[in-house]
């Protein structure tokens, strides 16, 4: 298959969900990223009380996984990103890596304070 062609599975996701990146696919990519990472962070995915949304929590920062996007939320009261939410649209795998790096940057900001 050529790189510029869409897979049948991605085409089905686009038809069904409106995009090629449903939450489960994003979750699987993050799990693979966590397994292959040599970073000192030991994050694990968890679920909200309704078992609907996957998330990671660390240092008053959250990474939420939704269909087609990752949302980062910082609930700290101090710091550059205090009480802010950032949305990362996912259209390819490198967007997931960039969102996770942004999440680690939020955590690092807390460690600097």
Each residue's pLDDT tens digit, 16-67 = 766 678 888 898 898 888 888 766 566 777 777 666 667 888 878 899 998 8
Adjacent-strand bridge partners of 64: 55, 71
Q: For residue 12, tell me if it sits in a domain.
A: no
Element (H, E) at 85: strand 84-89
- Give the mean pLDDT of 86-99: 94
- Give the mean pLDDT of 101-112: 82
Q: Please give the model's pTM, rounded to 2 decimal places.
A: 0.77
Q: For residue 14, tell me if it sits in a domain.
A: no
Task: State the pLDDT at residue 89.
Answer: 95
Domain span at residue 104 reads: 23-112
Q: For residue 15, tell me if it sits in a domain.
A: no
Q: For residue 83, tell me if it sits in a domain.
A: yes
Domains contained in the chain, number: 1
C-alpha dihedral over 103, 69, 29, 2, to 10 degrees? Answer: -130
Whether 104 shows a pLDDT value over 60: the answer reads: yes
């Amino acid at each position: 298959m050529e790189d510029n062609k869409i897979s049948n599975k991605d085409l089905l996701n686009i038809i069904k969900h409106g995009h090629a990146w449903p939450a489960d696919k994003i979750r699987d990519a993050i799990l693979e990223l966590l397994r292959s990472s040599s970073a000192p962070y030991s994050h694990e995915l968890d679920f909200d009380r309704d078992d609907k949304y996957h998330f990671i929590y660390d240092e008053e920062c959250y990474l939420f996984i939704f269909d087609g996007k990752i949302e980062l939320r910082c609930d700290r009261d101090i710091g550059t990103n205090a009480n802010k939410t950032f949305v990362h649209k996912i259209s390819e795998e490198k967007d997931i890596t960039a969102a996770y790096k942004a999440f680690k940057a939020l955590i690092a900001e807390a460690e600097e304070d």
